[in-house]
Amino acid sequence: MLHRYAVPLAIFGALALAPLLGFGAGHSLSLLARAMILGLGAVGLSVLVGGAGLVSLGHAASFGIGAYAVVMLDAAGQTNAGVVFPVAVLAAAVFALLTGAVAIRTAGVNFIMITLAFGQMAFFTAASLSAYGGDDGYTLYARTRLFGTRLLENRWFFHYLLLALLVLAWVAGRRLLASRFGRVLRAIRENPLRVQALGFSPYPYQLLAYTLAGALGGLAGALLANATEFVAPSFIAWQRSGDLLFMVILGGLGQLHGAVLGALAFVLLEEYLAELTPHWRLIFGPLLVLVALYLKGGLLGLVQRRG
């Protein structure tokens, strides 16, 4: 049993010890915070891709909606976490429910293109919101208040809060996929016609999974807005959706902690290459292609094979 959880325990243990082992400086904690927030969103996408077999190129829209919920409430003078985070999650979940109700009626390439289209609609809508900065973005001059305090501005507290939320999302995702709902969802991914023959309608199962992934993305977006203290339409760009999808593939499909590992590797590699050369994207792009082509099972598969 312990061997079964060795890799996720190692990942979460490393994140817990990181501030105590020389990564407590401001930049290091900011980098880890970004990786954990993206990992939180990637866990939701992993449930969608690995569990339901729905490859979405519009997952960043839920990030953006969660982030812009923080912006709109901040502009209205509301900075209470008890209001801000539930609103962000609910707004992203409603968006996912409404767009998923249309997108899930399709499959394959059509589904990918429809999710991309909805994501781009959200992007251009955000860019047109001149009251919230438009293309220039919106600066948050303070983070959301937690219990009436500025605890989220404490880097160490914020780090461990993100870690707790990440672990909670991973546990909830595992329990979901291990439940009857998750088993039906995986069966739909493998053979939807057989599932229908057994008396289950794939549509509500897939729509619920899509909505839950969107809600988790909304939470991640609200946290990202607090981490960067800045929100721009680039949060919703299709490139961000592509990054999230690659994190899931890089870490390894089929295991939720693979999404966390992929997010950490993606962010750290991006940072390392950016320090080496200003033309780091010329290295990063082909490297991602090579990983996708030759690293079967992702980083998690590599770790398991070596183990």
Tokens read off for 270: 């991006």
Q: Which pLDDT belongs to residue 162?
A: 95
Per-residue model confidence (pLDDT) at position 307: 57
d(CA 31, CA 135): 24
Token output for 206: 């897939």
Is-above-0.75 flag for pTM?
yes
Domain definitions of the chain by residue range: 3-306
- For the chain, residues with pLDDT lower than 70 are 1-3, 24, 303-307
CB 30 within 8 A of CB 40: no
User: Contact 129/137 with Cβ under 8 angstroms?
Assistant: no
CATH topology assigned to domain 3-306: ABC transporter involved in vitamin B12 uptake, BtuC (1.10.3470)
In angstroms, the CA 97 to CA 85 distance is 18
